[in-house]
């Protein structure tokens, strides 16, 4: 009798275990996250939802290595972030995490190409290699023809797509997006969401997106809800709306 084949273990890109984050304010302790545990398989697109003040952005910042937890463990791409010094954490973050913000955070005096190239200045790549990679990233988001334009010459949706190109130019393990459509009109928001879905499906990027918009969340493959610093008790594989 032959043995049954072992199930294939899916790699975990983000592993958050019993994380607590508290701050001191006016002599009082404010608990933002209280014992949160979360696993995001590699290649997934997860939407984090919840009301304002629920801890969504705090959790995103912890996953991205921007902030550190009060207690608990965070492992991203196999790296235990607690074991890294501040300098090592900054270097790890620049190579492994791509950031997409609600208000784009582009530098107004730089061209789209120069903005996308910025993360590569921390690498050992030559100027020509940096320019080639930045232009490739702009091609991926459909804006190679806007490489010489400044942010003020672009629409909001185009600015966000430049920001996404900047986020992917280092080929990060994880993309974190904080309300990426919150400052966009409906058409531009759909274009940005289409791009994120494409990065997830076609390029296998692991994406963790914070959003308050159920229509945006439905474009993700999985969904978790935060309420007062606690992840609701739902199955980790709960889809957001119709699974795509």
| Residue 166 token pair | 């900047």
Q: Say what the pTM is.
A: 0.89
Mean pLDDT across 176-205: 94
Whether 243 shows a pLDDT value over 50: the answer reads no
Using a 10 angstrom Cβ sphere, with 0-12 exposed, 13-18 middle and 19 or more buried, the burial of residue 59 is buried
Q: What is the pLDDT of residues 35-62, one digit of tens each?
A: 999 999 999 999 999 888 889 999 999 9
Distance CA 144, CA 159 (A): 13
| Residue 194 token pair | 């289409």
Name the band, by pLDDT with cuts 50, 70 and 90, for residue 232: confident
pLDDT at 93: 93
Name the band, by pLDDT with cuts 50, 70 and 90, for residue 238: low
Q: Which of 155, 153, 119, 113 is nearest to 134 (CA)?
A: 113
Question: Residue 141: phi, psi to the nearest 5?
Answer: -95, 5
Classify 12-231 by CATH class: alpha beta
Whether 7 shows a pLDDT value over 50: the answer reads no
CA 199 to chain centre: 12
Q: What is the pLDDT of residues 12-26, one digit of tens each?
A: 999 999 999 998 888
Using the Cα atoms of residue 54, residue 165, residue 64 and residue 40 in order, give the sign of their dihedral. positive
């Amino acid at each position: 009798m032959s043995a049954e084949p072992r199930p294939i273990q899916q790699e975990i890109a983000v592993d958050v275990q019993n994380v607590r984050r508290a701050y001191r304010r006016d002599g009082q302790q404010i608990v933002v996250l209280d014992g949160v545990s979360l696993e995001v398989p590699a290649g997934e697109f997860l939407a984090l939802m919840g009301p304002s003040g629920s801890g969504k952005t705090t959790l995103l910042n912890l996953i991205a290595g921007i902030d550190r937890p009060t207690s608990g463990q965070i492992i991203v791409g196999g790296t235990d972030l607690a074991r890294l010094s501040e300098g090592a954490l900054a270097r790890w973050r620049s190579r492994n995490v791509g950031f997409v913000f609600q208000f784009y955070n582009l530098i107004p005096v730089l061209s789209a190409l120069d903005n996308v190239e910025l993360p590569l200045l921390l690498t050992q790549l030559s100027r020509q290699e940096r320019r080639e990679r930045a232009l490739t990233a702009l091609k991926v988001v459909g804006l190679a023809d806007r490489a010489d334009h400044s942010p003020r010459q672009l629409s909001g949706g185009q600015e966000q797509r430049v920001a996404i190109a900047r986020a992917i130019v280092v080929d990060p393990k994880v993309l974190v997006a904080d309300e990426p459509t919150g400052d966009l009109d409906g058409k531009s928001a759909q274009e940005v969401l289409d791009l994120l879905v494409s990065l997830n499906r076609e390029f296998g990027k692991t994406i963790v997106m914070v959003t308050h918009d159920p229509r945006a969340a439905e474009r993700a493959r999985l969904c978790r809800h935060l309420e007062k610093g606690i992840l609701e008790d739902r199955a980790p594989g709960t889809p957001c709306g119709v699974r795509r």
